[in-house]
A and B are shown apart, each in its own frame.
Chain A
Amino acid sequence: MKINKKIGNVASIIHASIIFIFLYLPIIVVVAFSFNKSKINIVFTGFTFEWYGKILKNTRLIDALENTVIVAIVSTLLAVIIGTLAAVGMNKYRFKGKKVVDALLYIPVVIPEIIFGIALLALFSTAKLKLGLGSLIVAHTTFCIPFVVFTVRARLVGIDPHIEEAAMDLGAKRIRTFFEVLLPSIMPGVVSGALLSMTISMDDVIISFFTTGPQSTTLPIQIYSMVKSGISPDVNALSTIILIVTIVVVILSQSRMLRNIKKK
């Protein structure tokens, strides 16, 4: 019995290791070849930092990064405002058409992104709307709203509905109640909804592909065309930079968090 369990343990450790290798192998390869002298990702011919220099001088990439951040921040803000209000209202009131709003919220989440992309493209182009930062922000806001609503709603479920009434009985105005009583208690939900929106927006390829214009290329779209045009190692260098930034930040914040857990 015990031996059986041991075998099982070893097997699951092996299984987990395989999964981690699977997850990290392509990343390791990308990083390794970013230091390769040869332009071709086949043979390692020597060590160089050349591609990093090339990336830092590439104004197009920096522009794309800027666009990505602008779109992510603005659409997250919009989505958070609209989504939080919606979650509060839908939690509190019954109204005609609530089911319709609910269904509309799920649609962007469940249907394949490409359909949403072409639907927005068709609308924008028929409405003669300019494709650019504006159209990107509108599109991103739309697919971010549901995520904000869901996370805030999940948080609202655990909140005593009487708090608000109590506050209002004590004479607080409705708006003040919202900002001083309700909002603080759902804040964790709002924050995680916002962060979720931001990540989804920053990594979106498909919907941006259909709704972007010439002045508003985002980083994922820029990378898509770089990756398509093949073998240039500056793609590797760029992703290594992104990866390092992420990992450093993770380590910095995580070491504190892990220590906290240990204390408990």
Chain B
Amino acid sequence: MKGRLNKKVPLYTTIFPVTFWLILLVAIPLIYVLVLSFLTRLPNGRVDFVFTMANYKKLINPDYFHIYGISLFVSAVTTAICIVLSYPFAWFIAQGSERKKTLMMLLVIIPFWTNSLIRLYGWKTILGNEGVLNKVLLTLHLINEPIQMLYSLPAVILGMVYTLLPFMILPIYASVEKLDKTLLEAANDLGAKSIQSFLQISLPLTSPGIFAGSIMVFIPTLGYFFVSDLLGGGNTMMVGNLIKNQFYTAQNWPLGAALSIVLIIMTLLLVRIYTLMGGKLDDLGVAK
């Protein structure tokens, strides 16, 4: 008996802290959000512990569908642009010498050591009616009057792409790096055209990087309220802004909780699709 207990001591000491912490600060808060989504809001904004379905009934509303629709659209476009930008770029980097590779990856990462908000603020300066870009275009006589760029959906998408691009570059780069180049050479030797060998060998072998990158870009985009705050000018409401408003302006926590539950379900579905396609969950964490 004593021996068995003794054997379990290391198990407890290693596992207990994490289990305790995660149950207390991950499981309980999320369950609480679920509970909250079924509670009633009192007129003064406080929460009453009375069960109701009203919050979910409220979600069946074209406005909210529209907001979820826009958010999914922004996420999808952001992800697509990130893939198109990152994929050739990752290949280009991976082909360089060791020294070049390190240098290039460093150049990719340095901007992300500056605060993300400050960099978005830089875009504001660039995109304004009298901003840097319009000034340049006007001076070059390419346009006659400033293009309205700031505070629009494209501006929000640009901000999202900018903020999340490294989360696409890193996993794709990792998968290209892992790729066995001799396979490609062998295919070439066997007479395969480069497009053929790309579609049949390179692309399938690097797709795990694309999938992992897509998840790491798509999901955060749904929640980054500060990007649409800064570059959308309050015109573009995304799920993130909507949830934040329920907690901070409208003071309707139960509705905010219900909106969050829908977002959680959407996220879990996406992750499920990802794992069904053979993606590994660990890939999502380490590249960050």
A116 CA to B27 CA, complexed, in Å: 11
Q: Is the CB of A15 within 8 A of B119?
A: no
Q: Is the CB of B10 within 8 A of A174?
A: yes
What is the size category of the interface that chain A forms with chain B? 35 or more
Q: Which residues of B contact A33 (CB under 8 A)?
A: 125
Q: Is the CB of A42 within 8 A of B131?
A: yes
Q: Is the CB of B220 within 8 A of A82?
A: no
Q: Is the CB of A27 within 8 A of B119?
A: yes
Chain B: interface residue total (CB-CB under 8 A): 84
Q: Which residues of A contact B260 (CB under 8 A)?
A: 114-115, 118-119
Q: Within the complex, what minimum Cβ distance (angstroms) separates A88 from chain B?
A: 5
Q: Known: A111-B219, A223-B115, A258-B103. Is A246-B110 also a contact (CB below 8 A)?
A: yes
Chain A CB within 8 A of B45 CB? no
A242 CA to B281 CA, complexed, in Å: 33
Chain A CB within 8 A of B99 CB? yes
Q: Is the CB of B15 within 8 A of A110?
A: no
A58 CA to B125 CA, complexed, in Å: 24
Nearest CB to that of A107 among chain B residues?
B26
Q: Chain A at the B interface: mostly helix, strand, loop or mixed?
A: helix
Nearest CB to that of A25 among chain B residues?
B126
Q: Within the complex, what minimum Cβ distance (angstroms) separates A205 from chain B?
A: 6
A264 CA to B102 CA, complexed, in Å: 14
Q: Known: A93-B11, A246-B114. Is A30-B103 also a contact (CB below 8 A)?
A: no
A166 CA to B32 CA, complexed, in Å: 47
Q: Is the CB of B267 within 8 A of A112?
A: yes
A88 CA to B33 CA, complexed, in Å: 32
Which residues of A come within 8 Å of B, CB atoms?
12-13, 15-16, 19-20, 22-27, 29-30, 33, 41-42, 81-83, 85-86, 88-90, 92-93, 95, 97, 101, 104-116, 118-123, 126, 138-139, 141-142, 145-147, 149-151, 153-154, 174, 196, 199-200, 203, 205-206, 210, 219-220, 223-224, 227-228, 235, 238-239, 242-243, 246-247, 250, 254, 257-258, 261-262, 264
10 pairs of residues in contact across A and B, judged by CB atoms under 8 Å? A81-B17, A82-B17, A93-B11, A97-B19, A114-B244, A118-B247, A122-B36, A122-B253, A123-B29, A147-B286
Which residues of B come within 8 Å of A, CB atoms?
10-11, 13-15, 17-19, 21-23, 25-30, 32-33, 36, 85, 88-89, 91-93, 98-99, 102-104, 106-108, 110-111, 113-123, 125-126, 128, 130-132, 162, 165, 215, 219-220, 222-226, 229-230, 240, 243-244, 247, 253, 256-257, 260, 263-264, 267-268, 271, 281-282, 284-286, 288
